[in-house]
Structure formats: C-alpha cells, structure tokens
Amino acid sequence: MTEYKTMKDLPSEEKPYEKFETRGAEALTDAELLAVLLRSGTRGSSSLDLARLLLSPEISGGGLLNLYHMSTRELMKLPGIGRVKAIQLKCLLELSRRIAKEPFRKELSFDSPKSIADYYMEDFRHAEQERMMILMLDTKGGFLGEAVISIGTVNASLVSPREIFLKALAFHAVSVIMLHNHPSGDPTPSEEDLLLTLRVSKAGEMIGIELLDHLVLGDRKYISFREQGFFDKN
C-alpha cells in the first residue's frame, strides 16, 4: 500500500474534503471526519495522521467514544494538539452529546421511567465515576430543576438523604426522582443501591417529599425501582 506523507500527496478521491464533496459525509471514515474538524496537522504529519493517532488504541483506547474519557490536559500532551485543538475536540464531544439527547426532549415525561432514562442516558453513560443526580418536581409533576448530589461511589454511607432533601426544599419540591449510573454499563442495582433507596424513601415520607423513583443507568440500559415494584413492597 502506498504511503503518503501529507494530505496534498493523497489522490484527490481520497482527500477528505474532496471525498465529502463527491460522496458525502457518510463516506468518510472516523479518522477522515476528525481530520476535517482538526483542519491542520504538524510539520511532517497531516491532520489525517493526527486523527488516526487520536483514535489509536495506544492513545485513547481506540475509537471515537474513548475520546470522551480524555481530559483537555491529556489531549494537549499529544504531539500536534495544543490548547485550541484540545478545546475544539472537547466542544465537539459536548455538541455530539447534546445532539444525541435532543430527539428525546419532546418525549420526556416524568411519569415514564423509559423517557427519563432515554433523555439522561447520554449525560451518564460515558462517565467513569458513579454520579447521583436528583430531579425535583412541583405539586403538578412539573419540572423545577436538577442537581448533582454526589460524584464518586454512590452508596448509603456516602450519599445522605439530608443532602437530597436540603436541595429539594430549596427548590420547594414536593417529589424527587433519583438517577445514578453504573460505569460498568450494567444497571443491576447493588445492595447499597437498595439500602440507599429505602433510606431516602423513608426520610421523604417523614418530611412530606415523595421519592417517586430511582433509576440506575448503564450503557443504553436502565433499571427503574418503580417499574420493579420496589415502592409497593416497602
């Protein structure tokens, strides 16, 4: 296979811009799409070379999704990635996350665990640490706001019902929904998840703020405590 040192050396039909114009964006490889966005490489290497480096298993674990886990500082350590390119990449990833969420916005219903999971999945499924968020609702089930309560291991010893309900009271909420992720991708609740849900539910009963549900999010999968009948048993 012929090796090309720069983008100019590539045959016209293989240059990303020309390939886009003749065959459309869907014809471009992941590296070619990334090269178009990077725009330039470094001396001796093209933007395509730089894109291939970014997607290599040695750098990011391989593939576009793994770029989510690289910080701006980590990106800037790579040859050819300065402050501007690192920021561009992180903004591209954030834009892709928002685009992925957008189709589910109109379908979001706080009475439907699936619609909640669909909408918030992109916020959680790339996270490397567990993160607990609460959604706060008014007397008519209207959305008042959301708040991240904990980042790190989510369990009954580290997440206090007090933190949850102080935030809920600040929003004058009458009900809350808990969300947290399992970085493993498997949303099966742990014993700690069960204990935490029970503690928050009981504490909510005492102060008049109902815990409507607790959703555990994995990789495109979720478990709803409400759908599992947890609140009917306790």
CATH number at residue 117: 3.40.140.10
38 closest CA partner among 29, 28, 48, 30: 48
Q: Note whether 189 and 210 are same-domain residues.
A: yes
Structural domain boundaries enclosing 144: 105-233
pTM of the model: 0.70
pLDDT tens digits, 61-84: 667 777 887 889 988 988 888 898
The pair of three-digit structure tokens given for residue 210, joined into one six-digit string: 């109902």
Question: Using the 8-state DSSP alphabet, how is residue 227 labeled?
Answer: T
pLDDT higher than threshold 70 for residue 9: no
| Burial class of 178 by CB neighbour count within 10 A (0 to 12, 13 to 18, 19+) | buried
CA angle 186, 214, 212 (to 5 degrees): 160
Round to whole Å and give the CA distance between 159 and 16.
49
The answer to whether residue 129 sits within a structural domain is yes
Residue 208 backbone zone (phi > 0: left; psi -120 to 50: alpha; other: beta): left
CA angle 25, 28, 29 (to 5 degrees): 140
Which of 101, 119, 135 represents a domain boundary (last residue)? 101
pLDDT at 5: 46
